Amino acid sequence: MLECRRIGSLRVHHNRRRLATVVLAGIGAAVLGSQVFAQSAATDAGGSASQDGPLQEVIVTATRRAESLSKVPLSLSAFTQRSIDLRGVENISDLAKFTPGVDVDNTGTNNISIRGIASTGGAGTTGIYLDDTPIQMRALAFNPDEALPEAFDLQRIEVLRGPQGTLFGAGSEGGTVRYITTPPSLTKSSIYSRDEVSYTQGGAPSYEVGVAGGMPIIDGTLGVRATVWYRRDGGYINLIDPVSLNTIQNNANFTDTSLVRLAAIWKLSDRFTLTPSIYYQDRYSNNTNDFWPLYSNQSKDRYVSADPTRRGRPDRFYLPALKIVGHFKSFDLISNTSYYHRKDSSGYDGTIYNLGFYQSAAVLASVASGYPLLLDGNGLHLPAGATDYRSPATVDNGQQNFTQEIRLQSTDTGSPLVWTTGLFYSDNRQSYLEQIHDPLLNELMQAYIGSPYSQVFCVFDSATGSCASPYQPVLYDPRFPNDSYFLQTSARDTQIAWYGEATYAFTRQWKLTLGARESHTQYTFNTLTGGPQLYLPPQTGNGGKSENAFTPKVSIAYQYNEH
């Protein structure tokens, strides 16, 4: 069967005052010369006959086995790629509008809370899975966020509400979001495409183009699938120089996102299949969405940022994985091996932060008072001799997560007893580095105060409220030259767990489920901080914790309609 979907709709986007008319045209039509809408194998839980035709059965794997959604005793929402396209869903924020109990922090972190359970520090409370790999991030310090897969060429997205600790482990106290990619096939060929063009009032155009296709190379033995997707979200905020007020870049807050995925399936024998895959996603935001009302005219759709430092944000990850499935008489053996590698670089405007800090009494108390403000509601006031002062602040997050899972699950669909059991191991390493790059600190202090920075920043005596005696200057650390502040943290989470769950159907309508998870986790960290702004010599710290956890589960389910 050759499948090609041509997606078309009219959308209106809102981003502050952002309005865009969207026109969609299908690549598939150009490829095949005609428009073909293939029947979807499943629609989402919220589908309707008016949108998708007659409602069809939805198959989900929320219990780690394929089951009809109507028979899964969980609070669950499932969305297929077709229903995602029909609703205009492009990210998790859009999806949350159709998913009760789910909230997304839109301040730039992408953190997901389910049923109000969220955390701003430590391990996450919502499990995020790309296929069978957990990719959620521990909050080590400032500005942690989640790298969420794009909603393109997905078999479905499942949102499980409520604790999922038995089958999905730590980090799923509130629930779990699962992105399940479209698998390659040994017998079917398919093409899926989506493209979009939009215009932003007062800003730049946006566009999207993507295509995915799969086919058997050797019928019944070897199949492949490839996905390529790109999106440009046009900007609408102009960036100007805060001193000269000259325009540096128009529509500077644009975002580019690209996605590439390759997967194959190889039937080694009648019993074993092998599915290797690699997923790569690259997202780059050229500047923030902040604007300065002082220089903007909102009534004329003119938005201007005078941030001294442009804050580009690259965020990329790749995920190679290997899935092995063995079919036996009464059970399946499934092995999932994966490695998740992510690097995210963000930051904040260190120039504005520093100017506010340096003009404060905390700094000037060491010299004198009565100096003019460097920063106020009318903008920046850099002194002569330091008008080129800039101090970008960067925050780099890294994550490397190795995961191995082996599970057994029953396959006798006619038996009243179904069960799943497995072993899970993960080794998650994270790094955090915050730096305020301040190479012109000495020039600024000379121009502003008339003293070198070594006579301003000193070891502070809290008892006297001034520099300690004898005087000890706090200078740049040679490990982080030119940084007026830095914080470096590395952490490691390891977990090994056994889990099991069994469901017995007393009748077609009554079921009893018993489950448990026994896990051992260990967490260690090391930290280093310093720089003139610390008013102390460099400080180090370390720590760790290990624990054993047992998570039981008991549930009784009644199926009102046995069909």
Write the pLDDT tens digit of every residue in 297-324.
998 899 999 988 878 889 999 999 999 9
Which one-letter amino acid corresponds to residue 300? Answer: K
Instruction: Identify the top-confidence range among 30-39, 66-75, 258-267, 358-367.
Output: 258-267
pLDDT of 467 reads 86
Rounded to an integer, what distance in angstroms lies between the CA atom of residue 335 and that of residue 346?
35
DSSP 354: H
Rounded to an integer, what distance in angstroms lies between the CA atom of residue 151 and that of residue 58?
18
Is 30's pLDDT higher than 70?
no
CB atoms closer than 10 angstroms to residue 98: 17
pLDDT of 200 reads 86
What percentage of the chain carries pLDDT values higher than 70?
82
pLDDT of 152 reads 92
pLDDT of 336 reads 96
Rounded to an integer, what distance in angstroms lies between the CA atom of residue 238 and that of residue 240?
7
Is 9's pLDDT higher than 90?
no
Angle between helices 350-358 and 441-448 (to 10 degrees): 40
pLDDT of 447 reads 92
Q: Dihedral of the CA atoms 476, 480, 482, 484 (nearest 10)?
A: -60
To which H or E segment does residue 52 belong?
A: helix 49-52
Q: Please, which pLDDT band fits residue 15 given cuts at 50, 70 and 90?
A: very low
Q: Are the CB atoms for 239 and 310 separated by under 8 Å?
A: yes
Rounded to an integer, what distance in angstroms lies between the CA atom of residue 19 and that of residue 260?
29
Rounded to an integer, what distance in angstroms lies between the CA atom of residue 185 and that of residue 187?
6
Is 188's pLDDT higher than 60?
yes
**Residue/partner pairs of 103-108 with CB below 8 Å, 24 or more apart:** 108/143, 108/145, 108/346
DSSP 36: -
pLDDT of 143 reads 56
Which range (7-21, 94-108, 225-239, 425-439) has the least confidence? 7-21
Which one-letter amino acid corresponds to residue 365? Answer: A
3-state secondary structure of 356: helix
Helix, strand, coil percent values for the chain (each to nearest 5): 10, 50, 40
pLDDT of 360 reads 82
Q: What is the mean pLDDT of residues 5-22?
A: 36
What does the block give as tokens for 206?
A: 């946006």
CB atoms closer than 10 angstroms to residue 21: 13
Burial environment of residue 73 by CB neighbours within 10 A (0 to 12, 13 to 18, 19 or more): middle
pLDDT of 239 reads 94
Average pLDDT of the chain?
A: 83
Is 526's pLDDT higher than 70?
yes
Is 234's pLDDT higher than 90?
yes
Q: What is the mean pLDDT of residues 454-478?
A: 89
pLDDT of 310 reads 79
Q: What is the mean pLDDT of residues 177-199?
A: 93
pLDDT of 148 reads 86
pLDDT of 24 reads 34
Is 50's pLDDT higher than 90?
no
Query: DSSP string covering 212-278, please?
Result: EEEEEEETTTEEEEEEEEEEEE---EEEE-TTT--EEETT---EEEEEEEEEEEEE-SSSEEEEEEE
Q: Are the CB atoms for 324 and 274 separated by under 8 Å?
A: yes
Is 16's pLDDT higher than 50?
no
Rounded to an integer, what distance in angstroms lies between the CA atom of residue 9 and that of residue 553?
44
Smallest CA-to-CA distance from 251 within 267, 240, 243 is with: 240
Q: What is the mean pLDDT of residues 441-456?
A: 92
Query: What pairs with residue 297 in β-bridges?
Result: 302
pTM of the model as a whole: 0.84
Query: What pairs with residue 240 in β-bridges?
Result: 247
Is 241's pLDDT higher than 50?
yes
Tell me the torsion sign for CA atoms 358, 364, 366, 367: positive
3-state secondary structure of 32: helix
Q: Dihedral of the CA atoms 79, 81, 83, 85 (nearest 10)?
A: 130
Q: Please, which pLDDT band fits residue 162 given cuts at 50, 70 and 90?
A: confident
Is 146's pLDDT higher than 80?
no
Q: Please, which pLDDT band fits residue 105 given cuts at 50, 70 and 90?
A: confident
Is 388's pLDDT higher than 50?
yes
